[in-house]
Structure 1
Amino acid sequence: MVHTQTSTPPTTAQLSPTTDFRQLLEEIYQGRHLHDFKRNQRIQLQPHEVWVVCKGIVQLSTLHPTGDESIVGLACASMPFGLPFTRINPYEAHALSNVVLMRLHQMEIEQSPRLAQGLFQQLGHRLKQTEAVLAMASQRRVEDRLKQLLLLLSQDMGQVTSEGIRITVRLTHQQIANLTATTRVTITRLLQHLRQERWLEIDSSRHFIVLNPIAS
């Protein structure tokens, strides 16, 4: 499904570090088409195209010859991803939630210093997040991996509430199990344990709330 996004005309102002990347895209690309992908849908990647997440979260992964899958990153709102940014082969992208994406051609990026600078800033954010994903994967205890994942999501996709940080994307127990390299049964048990410890809560719409992220 394709949207048409309306926005204000381009401006000549220089991009500052505090400029919101989504606003930058709206300024530069009036009427740009946006693309919807449903949860678990595979996103086709082309050698000279870059996707930018407008809404939702995308799982980036690779497959080993054994058939095992490794998660190599998560792309959240405003983050770019695509084949021009990786040497991994195979490299796959799946919608972890319902997502809305903007597609850019590599030539457009090369011809726009403002866009290139904005993408560079967001890639820096993704690099930090990728390091956090790698650190999470190195944890031997599944509970530690689960906590690190929830903290990472609360930082990238969190909404401050009176109780704690609400993760705005709803994930299934199976998706969390895939991200933490364990089983759905184990995740269900650990989530219940974290709720009993008052580390985590689940609201009426099944979103996770990290109750005390600073103490963690």
Structure 2
Amino acid sequence: MFTGIVEALGEIVALQPSGGDLRVRVKSHGLDLGDVALGDSIATNGVCLTVVELPGDGYWADVSRETLEYTTVGEWKLGSRVNLEKALTPQTRLGGHLVSGHVDGVGEVVSRHADARSERFRLRAPKALAKYIAHKGSICIDGTSLTVNAVDGDEFELNIVPHTLERTVIGGYSTGTRVNLEVDVIARYLERLLLGDKAADSSTGGGIDMAFLAENGFLQR
């Protein structure tokens, strides 16, 4: 688990396709790896990666085909900058929100404009994830815990302060930038709990729709 508070910026310095998936080397500028061991997890642009080698100035990690399909990892190039965060410990300050590092999908920056000293971003999420994004709720963008300022269908807005612009990859976003999205895990569990015993019924598709809400008394017919 992570908090979504980025600790350092890293750089992709090697990409090695291997048997249909990928091995990556990340140079960890400014990230203390003194307490990191093989098998530990590091969130890399919001993707939980397992450390398989520690060459001294960074780490190697393997990326599965599943991860390549659902994240932006397949778009990384040599020199790409990435947000880094080590897994939390019982002593870690929970400055953001609980983040698993399991990316739900890829969003896209729709617009960016100045708002006093901050920057206002509008992003579009995959339609299947829109129901989990709420006004003033939390969302993780490329590993950064952020507050949703406005929601309009499958689009939402973020207000990014100067510190975050400087210390994360968000400062380099422009219209069309694709980003890793992880919705609040509490919303996902709440959906399953509302299904009750029907959660085990494959005919529900694993989700809640308007018909389900009406049938179970959450909506007036």
What TM-score do the two structures reach when normalised by structure 2?
Answer: 0.27
Question: Could you say which structure has the higher strand fraction?
Answer: 2
Question: Could you say which structure has the higher helix fraction?
Answer: 1
Greater RCO (Cα-Cα under 8 Å, separation 6 or more): 2
